Amino acid sequence: MEACAKDKTIEIRVLGSLRCHLEEVLTYMAEWRMEVGECRSYDVAREPGLPPEEVEEVFRNGHVQNIYDPVQTGECIAFLPYGTSGPYRTFLGIWREGRKARSSPTGDKKGRGVDDGHKAF
């Protein structure tokens, strides 16, 4: 029975200043039960009350991704706030993703593009 419940969840991590929005609802790491097999990171953020406009980057299974890209059950995602300092931006791939998205017609309004395969953690 536990395996069935695990199959319908995703692990979420909320980092930095974003945690203040969720301290009463979620801990640093939490599992979220999904009603469907796939949704967007944007939807996952909104469900417990995290404002998506304050999320600079989303990591899915350790890779930078767009907040509007799909997430499926069994995956791990982390939300990072704006204000990540310079050296960490380069190390995590945030700087490169922003630059790539701004030059691409498929990036979103905040300069986020699609994953280029950079492993962050």
pLDDT over 60 at 115, yes or no: no
Give the C-alpha separation, 79 to 82, whole Å: 10
Contact criterion met (CB below 8 Å) for 41 and 67: yes
Return the CATH number of 2-82, one of 3.40.50.620, 2.60.40.2130, 3.10.20.30, 3.30.70.260. 3.10.20.30
Q: The tokens 């939807």 sit on which residue? A: 43
Q: What is the mean pLDDT of residues 20-43?
A: 70
Give the C-alpha separation, 10 to 46, whole Å: 14
- Cα 44 to Cα 54, 101, 104, 106, distances in angstroms: 14, 22, 25, 22
Instruction: Give pLDDT tens digits for 83-103.
Output: 766 665 555 665 555 566 566
pLDDT over 60 at 42, yes or no: yes
Q: Where are the domains of the chain?
A: 2-82
